Amino acid sequence: MAPSGSLRIPVAVLPLLLWGAPWAHGRRSDVRIITDENWRELLEGEWMIEFYAPWCPACQNLQPEWESFAEWGEDLEVNVAKVDETEQPGLSGRFIITAPTTTYHCKDGEFRRYQGPRTKKDFINFVSDKEWKSIEPVSSWFGPGSILMSSMSALFQLSMWIRTCHNYFIEDLGLPIWGSYTVFAVATLLSGLLLGLFMIFVADCLCPSKRHRPQPYPSRKLLPESSQPLKKVEEEQEADVEDVSGEESESKEETNKDFAQNAVRQRSVGPSLATDKS
């Protein structure tokens, strides 16, 4: 009889366990999970998105309210979603999440940060009464789809990758902390050197230095109209120089002629004086 009594307790408890299980009711959570792969779905329709961290006590307290609010999503025609910051660092950088329990409202690609009370009733009133219209949307420069925020997302992903590598070096390979830092320092120097060489190569291809450029053959080019007055001035100066040289040559010729005439006169006067003396 003892064995039959011991079996009655689990059999009596089993229906309660089955009734309390989520799948026993045929329902599942209405909160959608957003990742780096499907975040562009937020750009269409109306959304309420919560960024949380599993270790955060405030996030844990908010989860029941958020789940209850998600049950009203179909009636309010709003999609309710959440993002795990620890699993999606790229989205944390894309939305500039600096603290957990950050909530955003999105309407056709326009994002607004929700900063009101965090209860089911307040969430419902915020959507049904369209209180989000009184909040200024995020600038397009800082929108999650902009180039700036895409770069920020890549930076956050890189930081998470570095952290994962650091933990791998310390926990799996057994390297000391300073050894892990040394590996990252050497990798940073090498990557900077390679990047600098690549940039120099690209700059040299796009803008080659003058010593490598072929020297063009001298050729006469038509002077622009702006230089014609200068050319006229130069021609006038050259003409003046030629006139002065011509005048000098003429004066020299005249002096030479005068000198020759004087010499002839002296020769003719000399014999006449000699005959007079005799």
As annotated, the active-site residues are: 56, 59
SS (H, E, C) 97-126: CCCCCEEEEEECCEEEEECCCCCHHHHHHH
Those residues with Cβ within 8 angstroms of residue 60's Cβ, 6 or more apart along the chain or in another chain: 54
Q: Strand pairing partners for 79?
A: 47
- CA-based nearest residue to 34, from 87, 74, 113: 87
User: Roughly what angle, to the nearest 10 degrees, separates helices 120-128 and 57-70?
Assistant: 50
Residue with tokens 């060489």: 197
Phi, psi of 81 (to 5 degrees): -140, 170
- Helix, strand or coil, per DSSP, at residue 177: helix
